[in-house]
Structure 1
Amino acid sequence: MQDSLFPELAEADLPAAARPAAKPTARARKPAAGVVAASVPDELPALAARLPAHVRIGSSSWSYPGWAGFVWDGAYDASVLAKRGLEAYARHPLLRTVSIDRNFYQPLAVADYARYAAQVPPHFRFVAKAPSLVTDATVRGEDGRGTASNPHFLDPELAVQGFVQPALEGLGEHCGALVFQLSPLPARWLVDLPRLHARLDAMLGALPSLRPQAPDGIIAVEVRDAALLTPEFAALLRRHGATYCLGVHAKLPPLEAQLPLLRALWPGPLVCRWNYHRRHGAYGYEEAERVYAPFDRLRDADPDTRAALARVMAGTAAAGQKVYVTISNKAEGSAPLSAFALAQAFDEAMAARAAGR
């Protein structure tokens, strides 16, 4: 299948409209030079102008040198991009959100969030992941293996004081979706779902309303265990005004199999994290990292997932509900190029709806 926006290349290649006119210099720019946004072709601002304001597509983090030519104007060191790249990223007309994933590993302070908020335009919204200290039932070593039970798992006070309140205070109106991603659960939790639901119920019930400070704010819960995708889980989320974060990940059923949970929460917003290509299996994250680096092209195009997600986005947006979709480099090989292609697929899905197709 050819992308009509990028007609001269197949989907598995780097889209021509996003490709730099000349190969960026391999020499990293000096930090003092700052980060300059790449020029974008006429097609992308025109496409962005057709997207509803309440639809936001972006990436997971932003510190990738391989995005030179279609997000950055040239080559920059990753450390420079981590500190100074957000402002340039947020200038891109199609990239209206980004996930703050580093918070998962180390809780951020109000000042950290505020520094991010100061670098983006008024329309930009952030997706932030809750710290693993709250969402992982297991304490893990540096190798990722569990070492002990986590006594703070789904702790209400820690969820509020260590995540929601700092994010609200620091991001303000730029606060979009706050995502509690439950890491893969030990068997003792999966065989006692009522116990898990009770703990999750207590935590969600303790969270403050986001609306006074963040009118576009949404609380979402993402999982890594298909056993949690039950009517009881949906009812629990609905009770607290939260939503399910659609997770496109090899550890979960395909997107279409997760949609009944969203239907049980309808009407409501869409929060989706397109994490990971299924071809690598449930435990192939490092393989995907190796195969896709430096994340400068679509190496494993997934048009079926893209089309399915675009249809869900279109149905949600047409009903006036907010849409947040963040995409990892491990989804197809390059998060911003996936975002550009998804925006086009969404545009086509909206046009089809308008035409009654």
Structure 2
Amino acid sequence: MTATVRTGISGWRYAPWRGVFYPPGLPQRRELEFASRRLGSIEVNGSFYALQRPGSYQAWRAEVPPGFVFSVKGPRFVTHMKKLADVATPLANFFASGVLALGDGLGPVLWQLPPTLGYDADRLARFFELLPRTTAEAAALAEHHDERLDDRAWTTTDADRPLRHVLEVRHASFETPEYPALLREHGVGLVVADTAGRWPYLEDVTADLVYVRLHGDAELYVSGYDDPALDRWADRVRAWAAGGEPGDARRLGPPAEPAPAGRDVFVYFDNDTKVRAPVDAMALARRLGVGPVDPA
């Protein structure tokens, strides 16, 4: 099996974590350095709220160890404000903002839709067709940024690598077999989102990776995951990483074709309110035998 499993957290700058996960007195500028030596991946979620700058992405890459991977959350301007429509220039701006400066540390791009946006196959298909599938395509798209990025654009890549996209949805109308079929047609991964029952929970495998976001076991953004829950998630991750699916997978459509070489699995904990996310991510990593979970 050649699949890679990574467990991590969504974001890393949280005041309540200071003095709990982060040691007392640790400078804020060293928090990413600290977290990246205990976790296998981190979601960049500041990119959801505003376009970041190339210098920030360069600094983040420099602060993490070799082999560390970031996923990057696409901007809410595209998903929530434009609702995926007429977004060619906003996408160019996003990819010109410095995302490609992460180099080989760039993992999947996460697109999270708002709870108010229902399933619309045509809208989704048009959006998927705009998405670059390699870093070279992303660099070419970035060249079409608008004037706001004229003095701060990053439009090159150090190598041409595959670029993978995943979609998280929050409207009940997505619970149709047409949805995973559309994702498979376009090679986009379905996000397995545990949201304490608030939004759809789906486990269809639609691409060459499985992307999991754990927002809280019983209470959204608050609840931790106890030992039985972590054991259950570890079993599911092992099944996905082996190229199969859990026996009780909650699917809308037929199972995916087995992947003999396995599938990459990314698991991010977003239950940050009570400092559970990094603790749970490290606990799951230990169960799976992946790391790092201790200082290098």
TM-score scaled by length of structure 1: 0.61
Aligned-residue offset at 1:333: 4.4
Query: Residue 220 of structure 1: which of 159, 162, 166 is its match?
Result: 166
Question: Using the alignment, how far apart are the partners of 1:123 and 1:131 within structure 2?
Answer: 25
Where in structure 2 are the equivalents of 1:212-291 lying within 5 Å? 213=159, 215=161, 217-250=163-196, 251-254=198-201, 258-259=202-203, 261-262=204-205, 265=206, 268-279=208-219, 288=222
SS of residue matched to 1:128: strand
Check 1:155–1:109 CA distance in 2 against 1; reply closer, same or farther (3 A cut). Answer: farther
Check 1:68–1:109 CA distance in 2 against 1; reply closer, same or farther (3 A cut). Answer: closer
Question: Using the alignment, how far apart are the partners of 1:220 and 1:174 within structure 2?
Answer: 17
Q: Does 1:175 align with 2:125?
A: no
Aligned-residue offset at 1:156: 3.6
Range 217-226 or range 301-310, more displaced = 301-310
Q: Which amino acid aligns with 1:87?
A: E
Question: Using the alignment, how far apart are the partners of 1:167 and 1:233 within structure 2?
Answer: 31
Q: Which amino acid aligns with 1:55?
A: V
Are the equivalent residues in 1 in contact too, given 2:18–2:24 (CA < 8 A)?
Answer: yes
Aligned-residue offset at 1:167: 5.1
Where in structure 2 are the equivalents of 1:138-177 lying within 5 Å? 150-151=81-82, 153-166=84-97, 168-177=99-108
Are the equivalent residues in 2 in contact too, given 1:101–1:129 (CA < 8 A)?
Answer: yes
Aligned-residue offset at 1:314: 0.7
Larger radius of gyration: 1
Query: Residue 119 of structure 1: which of 40, 52, 63 is its match?
Result: 63
Query: Residue 204 of structure 1: which of 107, 112, 128 is its match?
Result: 128
Check 1:70–1:168 CA distance in 2 against 1; reply closer, same or farther (3 A cut). Answer: same
Query: Residue 327 of structure 1: which of 269, 289, 292 is its match?
Result: 269
Aligned-residue offset at 1:239: 1.8
Question: Using the alignment, how far apart are the partners of 1:216 and 1:303 within structure 2?
Answer: 36
Are the equivalent residues in 1 in contact too, given 2:17–2:275 (CA < 8 A)?
Answer: no
Q: Which amino acid aligns with 1:162?
A: N
Q: Which amino acid aligns with 2:199?
A: L
CA RMSD of aligned residues (A): 3.0
Gapped runs of 5+ residues in structure 1? 1-51, 137-149, 289-298, 349-357
Question: Using the alignment, how far apart are the partners of 1:214 and 1:72 within structure 2?
Answer: 36
Among the aligned pairs, what percent are the same residue? 28
SS of residue matched to 2:25: coil
Check 1:71–1:327 CA distance in 2 against 1; reply closer, same or farther (3 A cut). Answer: same
Gapped runs of 5+ residues in structure 2? 137-158, 244-261, 291-296
Q: Which amino acid aligns with 1:329?
A: N
Q: Does 1:130 align with 2:74?
A: yes
Are the equivalent residues in 1 in contact too, given 2:21–2:275 (CA < 8 A)?
Answer: no
SS of residue matched to 1:329: coil
Query: Residue 97 of structure 1: which of 41, 45, 66 is its match?
Result: 41
SS of residue matched to 1:179: strand
Question: Using the alignment, how far apart are the partners of 1:248 and 1:214 within structure 2?
Answer: 33
Check 1:279–1:91 CA distance in 2 against 1; reply closer, same or farther (3 A cut). Answer: closer
Give the structure, 1 or 2, with the largest relative contact order (CA under 8 Å, sep 6 or more). Answer: 2
Question: Using the alignment, how far apart are the partners of 1:102 and 1:66 within structure 2?
Answer: 18
Question: Using the alignment, how far apart are the partners of 1:221 and 1:107 within structure 2?
Answer: 19
TM-score scaled by length of structure 2: 0.73
Check 1:167–1:341 CA distance in 2 against 1; reply closer, same or farther (3 A cut). Answer: same
Aligned length: 249
Query: Once the two structures are superposed, what CA deviation does each residue of 1:246-297 show, in whole Å capped at 9, x if it has no partner?
Result: 111132245xxx12x22xx26x2111111234335xxxx6xx4xxxxxxxxx
Range 219-228 or range 203-212, more displaced = 203-212
Question: Using the alignment, how far apart are the partners of 2:70 and 2:45 within structure 1?
Answer: 10
In structure 2, the residue matched to 1:110 is: 54
Question: Using the alignment, how far apart are the partners of 1:215 and 1:322 within structure 2?
Answer: 16
Question: Using the alignment, how far apart are the partners of 2:185 and 2:173 within structure 1?
Answer: 20
Question: Using the alignment, how far apart are the partners of 1:216 and 1:326 within structure 2?
Answer: 21
Are the equivalent residues in 1 in contact too, given 2:135–2:163 (CA < 8 A)?
Answer: yes
